[in-house]
Structure 1
Amino acid sequence: MLTKRKLHALFWVALLILGLGVALTQGDEEIDPYKEAERQRELFRQTSGGILPGELYAAEGEELFTRKRGPKNASLEACDFGLGPGKLEGAYTRMPRYFADTRKVEDLESRVVSCMVRLQGFKPEEVGRDEVKALVAYVASKSSEMPLQVVPKHPNEITLYNLGKELWYRRAGSRDMNCSICHDTYAGGRVRLSPVRSPRQGLSNEWPAYRFEADKLYTLEDRIAFCYESVGVHPPDFYSEPMIALSVYMLTEATKGKHKFTELPGFTR
């Protein structure tokens, strides 16, 4: 059975043999990052019997989802992601959303945590980040390539959309940066070789995804944190209201742009 560790080892051996590397330039020739990601993706398939890293995370998440765990010795199969207990098909396309049982707007990540706490009896500080990411990969995989449907209607959803929009344009840090400076001003262009998209252009529709440069899975919250860190600003805490608000704003705008999720879990640089 291929584990994540074995799959990664196969990948790096193949890189050495084929001389591909993960650099975005070869000699003087500039390489498109998306095309490079596609090459690495196919290399993974060739060296692992067709299995991609994101699929391993999703398989791990499925095992965690169905196994009875925690002080209450329960699985997560009774967790309601918005379509009814245990119903996962298309649930991610409608999140973040308001949940009456917690009286909060939750994205997929915070919903996983709240279900682990309420259904399985874990304390919030006992919930491991890696477990959450694996569970997110599994649940999100059930909405792969489906149209986004995040449309704020509940007053709490509208409040968080407005907060997310405010945070999107709020300048912060020693560099006086905000999200809009890169993703709106340079939409359609490139920053450090990478194509730049605005929320309306589907900025948020490829997460969770395995980033081969970092050799790990990134969720949308991870990607938001990475953006903050890249401009020297301390990111919001995982599962916090600002993090969820930014997700509401980006995914609502992507819905307005009539985008679908990419193949989930994705594969990117």
Structure 2
Amino acid sequence: MNQRLTKALVGLAVATACIGSVSAQDSKVADELAKYREALADGNPADLLEAKGEALWSEKRGPKNASLEQCDLGMGPGKLEGAYASLPKYFKDTGKVMDVESRLVHCMMSLQGFTYEQATKNWYSKPGTDSDIEALVTFVGAKSNGLKINVPAKHPEEAKMAKMGEYIFYRRSGPQDFSCSICHGQEGKRIRLQELGNLTTKDGAGTAMKTWPSYRVSQGAVWTMQRRLIDCMRQARFPEPKYLADSIVALETFLQKNATGTVMETPGIKR
């Protein structure tokens, strides 16, 4: 056996050993993360926010002194079972594709008489300040727990939004020439030990979408999908979208379409 071939075989053996070592480490990390998530799931603080959301749903508030019990989230006035899992969708009364948060804000304005500014003032919680929107979303989301995500985006306006969301997902922009797909467009990627799901597949998108809204242990608060996506864009150094922006609803439509058929498990709990 010549010297070149010997070196090649030794190199291949070393590479194979390294790959095996990395694979074993990956498996160990995955096992430990699974144990961590299982421990977190034992007593989800989001349950308290869900109860608050239930109370807010039936409480008479605003200039019109009305509840949200006649709010139509796509299943008919006051019908909540499966509503979250079927959003975003097109609403004829507004002529827009809306997600759960934009629809709730619409109901707070039309049924309760709040202004847009009043309804969205505290759209996410801060230290010492709870968010009614987060509570309502958690309550509504829980009503889809155990049901399948169903956002086929067949209406022309829904299809248009899904296409827009797909474009945003793949579009590279910002000072780092970044895109959503760089982290979430292929298998086996990870950052800070956190797996980055492939959101272009049903399983990957389903894993990402089925557990939101989620309680984030590191933040000590429930995050909605709007907040999660806006924060993703901030971290990617994109121009930060406004709350309820069409770009966020479009991304949600694209991701929910990909996740269609996945069973909801919400509220979730994450690091």
Q: TM-score range by the shorter chain?
A: 0.7 to 0.9
Q: Tell me whether 1:134 sits opposite 2:135 in the alignment.
A: yes
Amino acid at match of 1:54: A
Aligned pairs for 1:241-260 within 5 A: 241-255=246-260, 258-260=261-263
Identity %: 40
Q: 1:237: which partner in 2? A: 242
Structure 1: give runs of 5+ residues left out of the alignment: 1-28, 46-51
Structure 2: give runs of 5+ residues left out of the alignment: 1-27, 124-130
Amino acid at match of 1:120: Q
CA-to-aligned-CA distance 1:55-105 (integer Å, 9 cap, x gap): 111111111110000001100000011111100011111100011111111
Equivalents in 2 of 1:195, 1:125: separation in Å?
37
Secondary structure, counterpart of 2:90 in structure 1: strand
Secondary structure, counterpart of 1:180 in structure 2: helix
CA contact (8 A) 2:216 2:223 kept: yes
CA contact (8 A) 2:183 2:189 kept: no
Please point out which of 198, 205, 223 is paired with 2:210.
205
Equivalents in 1 of 2:259, 2:188: separation in Å?
15
CA-to-aligned-CA distance 1:129-149 (integer Å, 9 cap, x gap): 111111000011000121111
Secondary structure, counterpart of 1:120 in structure 2: coil
* Runs of 4+ more than 3 Å apart: 29-34
CA-to-aligned-CA distance 1:139-171 (integer Å, 9 cap, x gap): 110001211110112111111111100000111
Q: 1:180: which partner in 2? A: 181
Q: For residue 41 of structure 1, report the CA deviation from its aligned partner.
A: 3.0
Larger radius of gyration between Structure 1 and Structure 2: 2
Q: Tell me whether 1:151 sits opposite 2:125 in the alignment.
A: no
Equivalents in 1 of 2:145, 2:135: separation in Å?
15
Q: For residue 35 of structure 1, report the CA deviation from its aligned partner.
A: 2.8
Q: Tell me whether 1:88 sits opposite 2:75 in the alignment.
A: no
TM-score, normalisation: structure 1: 0.81
TM-score, normalisation: structure 2: 0.81
CA contact (8 A) 1:34 1:268 kept: no
Please point out which of 220, 225, 230 is paired with 1:225.
230
Aligned pairs for 1:1-269 within 5 A: 32-42=32-42, 45=43, 52-127=44-119, 128-129=122-123, 130-185=131-186, 187-199=187-199, 200=201, 201=204, 202=206, 203-255=208-260, 258-262=261-265, 264-269=266-271
Q: For residue 227 of structure 1, report the CA deviation from its aligned partner.
A: 1.2
Q: Kindly tell me the number of residue pairs found equivalent between the two proteins.
A: 229
Equivalents in 2 of 1:35, 1:189: separation in Å?
20
Q: 1:13: which partner in 2? A: none
Q: For residue 241 of structure 1, report the CA deviation from its aligned partner.
A: 0.6
